[in-house]
Structure 1
């Protein structure tokens, strides 16, 4: 099939674009910037999802459209609500409208498990609004969809604001990880390779007009994750817990859930269960090696690693 990946230059979108190519699809990436991960089998169109003409041109002739574009950082979304509404809601609606005009067979939307929560601020509410609008397009125009609610992702190509990436970079650079909170928060971490693979598997007909949860297969307390990182690095790092209201905190803890996101209950979702997942410890080890190699190439000071 001919598939357009909006936001395909980013963390998750670029991996999904790769898995789509591997599955034999013809893939075009539509993004504000050129993908540093662009493969020769992929086409690239530079453009903004708020530009209706550019979106129309990109979608013409496509069978399936994925949308990973928009503001994904919750702290940024909280600070800039108007920008968040424009990119996440208006931008997504522009894509939906172009899908209808061009008879796209299915629209795949990147949502979040935060839609279940009373946390997440404008990021959460923008995703909730998008989900409802997608349903409206299905009811009024017959546009088939699949909505993917992602859990906590980690892995290569993540930016510096990604939770696990941030922890590992602190550990390598400072021999210390500072965590704001008590570490009792629970997450279901999933490697981006697993998330991307599942994001392609949902093209199966059984996921048409379905909500799908893509998250890790086991729950873990953040403090246990930190202990795992410490052990992988040979117990050479310090773990430091600070109050959430400490002035050094770079994010707003009030918009992140602690134990579970499941408070608000919109349309129920299926959980996609894969036959195999990348082990969390192995995934962290490989990511540590990548970050350490990156620091070495840039000539940055790093911890003297004793990686197990």
Structure 2
């Protein structure tokens, strides 16, 4: 089976590439990534020489390129991680989020219809549901929760989800969608909360926390997310949405303090800053459908996963220091252009 993974040089996509290449040596995993600022080919370094792995640089919103690619490669399955995903950046520049997250998705869908893809899977987010009140801990997002977006990012992801479901109903395209809670784990881009805390705390720099830090997120280890996506692609019901949650709710302030304590750094590094515009208060997912239908269970709790994650960043300082310095952006030129391995 030949599987196209878009956005496979990003955080979750990169972890999924590792997982699939190693678990299914008989399958060909093709990693397509535009290599924007958040795309880091060093993330894929552990698998780049595997015989069942190939990297291609390209933009999912480039229609001519995508159609040519599908014609040449004859994919069986498409798993779409490719997306602009940082909420703050979406507030500053919504247009690029529409282009990649919406137009890019519809371009992939058109190619899937034209070339008869066996399964298209859309990796989405719990942010499409909006937020939940802090004073109702009994409420959770289910697959039937109405979409109620708060940011340009979540609006673009919700729009993409609707297009995916529309292509299933209109064209009969076999699709599935997963909506996950906040991921954490190895290879997380340093602008995100947990690696940001680690990188700044190690340098005794202040840790910015929005508002009062009371916003609640449900944390999911990226490995558990990868297992869930694999299950949904192979066994999930066509046309269905599956929520993937970790049952690990923490306030942002609790997360910051947990990491600081693990690093033996003082809480005095915490600095409260002006809150994000439209900041959602609480995310909490009910993954019952995924658990009962497909037998998924998370391997990690936050208490077991966060120490391993912190240790990974301590053991792999060069990876994230290269990102902060900008050196990671030279990896494609060094490894793929200079060595004649580029496929564009």
Asked whether the two chains share a fold, i.e. TM above 0.5, the reply is yes
Aligned counterpart for 2:312 among listed residues 280, 290, 294: 290
Residue 275 (structure 1) aligns with: 297
Q: Which runs of 5+ in 1 are unaligned?
A: 246-252, 263-267, 300-308
From 204, 210, 220, the equivalent of 1:190 is 220
The alpha-carbon deviation at position 147 of structure 1 amounts to: 0.8
Structure 2 CA distance for aligned equivalents of residues 216 and 87 of structure 1 = 27
> How many Å separate the matches in 2 of 1:98 and 1:59?
7
Cα distance change of structure 1 residues 119 and 165 upon mapping to structure 2, 3 Å threshold: farther
Equivalent-residue separation in structure 1 for 2:122 and 2:178 (angstroms): 6
8 A Cα contact 1:119 1:256, kept in partner: no
Query: In structure 1, what is the equivalent of residue 11 of structure 2?
Result: 11
Matches within 5 A, 1:68-87: 68-87=81-100
With normalisation by structure 2, the TM-score equals 0.76
| Local SS of the residue matching 2:209 | strand
Structure 2 stretches of 5 or more lacking a match? Answer: 131-147, 323-344
User: Retained in 2: the 8 A contact 1:119–1:254?
Assistant: no
1:295 deviates by: 4.3
Alignment partner of 1:54 is 2:56: no
Determine whether 1:108 maps to 2:130: no
Query: Is 106-115 or 76-85 further displaced after alignment?
Result: 76-85
Deviations 1:202-229 (A, max 9, x none): 1233332111112212222223223322
How many aligned positions are there? 287
- 1:306 — aligned with what? none
Does residue 138 in structure 1 map to residue 168 in structure 2?
yes
Shift of 1:235: 5.4
1:294: Cα distance to partner?
4.3
Q: Report deviation, 1:231.
A: 2.8
Question: What is the root-mean-square deviation of aligned Cα atoms in Å?
Answer: 2.6
Distance 1:160 1:260, change over 3 A: same
Looking at structure 1, the residues matched to 311 and 65 of structure 2 have their Cα atoms a distance apart, in angstroms, of 39
How far apart are the structure 1 equivalents of 2:102 and 2:19? 26
Matched, 1:219 2:219: no
Q: Which has the higher helix share?
A: 2
TM-score (norm 1): 0.84
**CA drift at 1:237:** 4.5
Of 52, 56, 77, the residue aligned with 1:45 is 56
Once residues 239 and 65 of structure 1 are traced to their aligned partners in structure 2, the CA distance between those partners, rounded to angstroms, is 43
1-side partners of 2:15 and 2:54: how far apart?
15
- 1:290, CA displacement in angstroms? 3.2
Q: Secondary structure at the match of 2:312?
A: helix
User: Could you say which residue in structure 1 is the equivalent of 2:107?
Assistant: 94
Match of 1:35 among 36, 41, 54: 41
Partner of 1:208: 238
* Cα deviation, residue 243, structure 1: 4.5
